[in-house]
Amino acid sequence: MSVWYEKGIQFKCQGSGKCCSSRGEYGYVYMTLQDRRNMAKALDLNTTEFTKKYCTKTSGVYHLNENEDSPDCLFLKNNKCSVYTGRPTQCRTWPFWPDNMNAKVWSNEIVSYCPGINKGRLYSKKEIDENLKLEADAENELFIS
Ligand code: SF4
Protein backbone atom coordinates (compact mmCIF):
# COMPACT_ATOMS: atom_id res chain seq x y z
CA MET A 1 0.00 0.00 0.00
CA SER A 2 1.34 3.40 -0.98
CA VAL A 3 1.82 6.02 1.74
CA TRP A 4 2.43 9.75 1.52
CA TYR A 5 6.06 9.39 2.62
CA GLU A 6 6.78 6.73 -0.02
CA LYS A 7 9.78 8.67 -1.34
CA GLY A 8 11.24 9.18 2.11
CA ILE A 9 11.72 12.31 4.22
CA GLN A 10 14.82 14.34 4.94
CA PHE A 11 15.63 14.86 8.58
CA LYS A 12 18.63 16.07 10.51
CA CYS A 13 18.50 17.24 14.10
CA GLN A 14 19.33 20.96 14.25
CA GLY A 15 19.86 20.96 18.02
CA SER A 16 16.89 23.25 18.69
CA GLY A 17 15.99 21.23 21.79
CA LYS A 18 12.32 21.79 20.92
CA CYS A 19 11.40 18.10 21.02
CA CYS A 20 13.03 17.97 24.47
CA SER A 21 10.66 20.60 25.77
CA SER A 22 7.16 19.87 26.95
CA ARG A 23 4.19 20.82 24.82
CA GLY A 24 0.77 19.42 25.56
CA GLU A 25 0.50 15.73 24.85
CA TYR A 26 4.19 15.60 23.98
CA GLY A 27 4.97 16.59 27.53
CA TYR A 28 6.18 13.35 29.03
CA VAL A 29 9.28 11.43 28.12
CA TYR A 30 7.93 7.91 28.48
CA MET A 31 10.25 5.16 29.69
CA THR A 32 9.97 1.46 28.95
CA LEU A 33 11.87 -0.94 31.18
CA GLN A 34 14.60 -1.17 28.53
CA ASP A 35 14.72 2.65 28.30
CA ARG A 36 15.21 2.84 32.06
CA ARG A 37 17.93 0.19 31.90
CA ASN A 38 19.73 2.04 29.10
CA MET A 39 19.57 5.44 30.74
CA ALA A 40 20.58 4.02 34.13
CA LYS A 41 23.63 2.45 32.50
CA ALA A 42 24.55 5.74 30.81
CA LEU A 43 24.39 7.43 34.22
CA ASP A 44 26.25 4.62 35.98
CA LEU A 45 23.28 3.77 38.19
CA ASN A 46 21.34 0.57 38.60
CA THR A 47 17.84 0.54 37.16
CA THR A 48 16.10 0.70 40.54
CA GLU A 49 18.19 3.67 41.67
CA PHE A 50 17.61 5.44 38.37
CA THR A 51 13.86 4.82 38.46
CA LYS A 52 13.56 6.10 42.04
CA LYS A 53 15.59 9.19 41.33
CA TYR A 54 14.38 10.24 37.89
CA CYS A 55 11.03 8.61 37.09
CA THR A 56 7.38 8.88 38.07
CA LYS A 57 4.54 6.51 37.25
CA THR A 58 1.37 8.15 35.97
CA SER A 59 -1.68 6.06 35.05
CA GLY A 60 0.49 2.96 35.30
CA VAL A 61 3.20 4.21 32.96
CA TYR A 62 6.71 5.38 33.77
CA HIS A 63 8.01 8.70 32.47
CA LEU A 64 10.88 11.00 33.38
CA ASN A 65 10.19 13.41 36.21
CA GLU A 66 9.30 16.86 34.99
CA ASN A 67 11.39 19.92 35.72
CA GLU A 68 9.65 22.00 38.37
CA ASP A 69 10.75 25.34 36.97
CA SER A 70 10.98 24.71 33.22
CA PRO A 71 9.20 22.82 30.44
CA ASP A 72 12.58 21.37 29.40
CA CYS A 73 13.53 17.75 29.98
CA LEU A 74 15.67 17.24 33.09
CA PHE A 75 18.50 16.05 30.89
CA LEU A 76 18.50 18.92 28.42
CA LYS A 77 21.63 21.01 29.02
CA ASN A 78 22.50 23.92 26.71
CA ASN A 79 20.00 22.57 24.15
CA LYS A 80 21.76 19.21 24.10
CA CYS A 81 20.84 15.85 25.59
CA SER A 82 23.25 15.16 28.45
CA VAL A 83 22.51 11.41 28.29
CA TYR A 84 22.49 11.10 24.51
CA THR A 85 23.87 7.55 24.33
CA GLY A 86 21.22 6.38 26.80
CA ARG A 87 18.31 8.41 25.47
CA PRO A 88 14.98 6.56 25.38
CA THR A 89 13.20 5.14 22.34
CA GLN A 90 10.84 8.11 22.14
CA CYS A 91 13.82 10.42 21.65
CA ARG A 92 15.61 8.09 19.22
CA THR A 93 12.62 7.75 16.94
CA TRP A 94 11.56 11.42 16.78
CA PRO A 95 10.01 12.68 14.50
CA PHE A 96 8.84 9.36 13.08
CA TRP A 97 6.14 8.61 15.66
CA PRO A 98 2.87 6.91 14.72
CA ASP A 99 0.89 9.96 15.86
CA ASN A 100 2.99 12.28 13.68
CA MET A 101 2.81 10.32 10.45
CA ASN A 102 -0.62 11.43 9.42
CA ALA A 103 -0.10 13.65 6.34
CA LYS A 104 -2.16 16.51 7.79
CA VAL A 105 -0.57 16.40 11.23
CA TRP A 106 2.84 16.24 9.61
CA SER A 107 2.37 19.26 7.35
CA ASN A 108 0.27 21.34 9.76
CA GLU A 109 2.14 20.71 12.99
CA ILE A 110 5.35 18.74 12.83
CA VAL A 111 7.08 20.52 9.94
CA SER A 112 6.60 23.93 11.53
CA TYR A 113 7.56 22.65 14.98
CA CYS A 114 10.79 20.80 14.19
CA PRO A 115 13.49 22.70 12.28
CA GLY A 116 15.26 19.43 11.37
CA ILE A 117 12.56 18.29 8.99
CA ASN A 118 13.41 18.58 5.28
CA LYS A 119 17.06 19.02 6.17
CA GLY A 120 19.96 16.57 6.02
CA ARG A 121 19.86 13.04 4.80
CA LEU A 122 16.91 11.26 3.31
CA TYR A 123 15.27 8.62 5.50
CA SER A 124 13.79 5.95 3.24
CA LYS A 125 10.27 4.67 3.72
CA LYS A 126 11.83 1.48 5.10
CA GLU A 127 13.79 3.40 7.74
CA ILE A 128 10.77 5.48 8.65
CA ASP A 129 8.68 2.33 9.00
CA GLU A 130 11.37 0.78 11.21
CA ASN A 131 11.29 3.83 13.49
CA LEU A 132 7.51 3.72 13.55
CA LYS A 133 7.60 0.08 14.60
CA LEU A 134 10.21 0.73 17.29
CA GLU A 135 8.11 3.55 18.71
CA ALA A 136 4.84 1.59 18.48
CA ASP A 137 6.47 -1.40 20.22
CA ALA A 138 7.83 0.90 22.95
CA GLU A 139 4.38 2.44 23.45
CA ASN A 140 2.94 -1.06 23.90
CA GLU A 141 5.73 -2.08 26.27
CA LEU A 142 5.02 0.87 28.52
CA PHE A 143 1.97 -0.91 29.85
CA ILE A 144 3.72 -4.19 30.61
CA SER A 145 6.95 -2.97 32.20
S1 SF4 B 1 16.27 12.37 27.30
FE2 SF4 B 1 17.61 13.66 26.06
S3 SF4 B 1 16.79 13.52 23.96
FE4 SF4 B 1 15.19 12.79 25.37
S5 SF4 B 1 13.90 14.59 25.85
FE6 SF4 B 1 15.49 14.46 27.45
S7 SF4 B 1 17.16 15.78 26.74
FE8 SF4 B 1 15.84 15.32 24.96
65 part of a folded domain: yes
Task: State the greatest distance between any 2 C-alpha atoms of the chain, in Å, as a whole number.
Answer: 46
2 part of a folded domain: no
Per-residue pLDDT of the chain in tens (145 residues, 90 and over written 9) = 789 999 999 999 998 888 898 754 557 899 999 999 999 999 999 999 999 999 999 989 999 999 888 889 999 998 889 999 999 999 999 999 999 999 999 999 999 999 999 999 999 999 999 999 999 999 999 987 6
pLDDT of residue 98: 95
52 part of a folded domain: yes
pLDDT of residue 21: 86
122 part of a folded domain: yes
Domain total in the chain: 1
- How many other C-beta atoms are found inside a 10 Å radius of the C-beta of residue 122? 10
pLDDT of residue 35: 97
84 CA from centroid of ligand 1 (Å): 7
pLDDT of residue 68: 85
pLDDT of residue 4: 97
46 part of a folded domain: yes
Nearest protein Cα to ligand 1, atom 1: 87
Residues with Cβ within 8 Å of 101's Cβ and at least 6 positions away in sequence, in order, are 5, 128, 132
8 part of a folded domain: no
Nearest protein Cα to ligand 1, atom 8: 20
Domain range spanning residue 75? 19-141
- Please give the number of the atom of ligand 1 that sits closest to the Cα of 75: 7
1 part of a folded domain: no
- Please give the number of the atom of ligand 1 that sits closest to the Cα of 83: 2
12 part of a folded domain: no
Pocket test for ligand 1, best of 18, 41, 87 (most atoms within 8 A of CB): 87
pLDDT of residue 63: 94
Secondary structure (DSSP) of 27-43: ---B--HHHHHHHHHHT
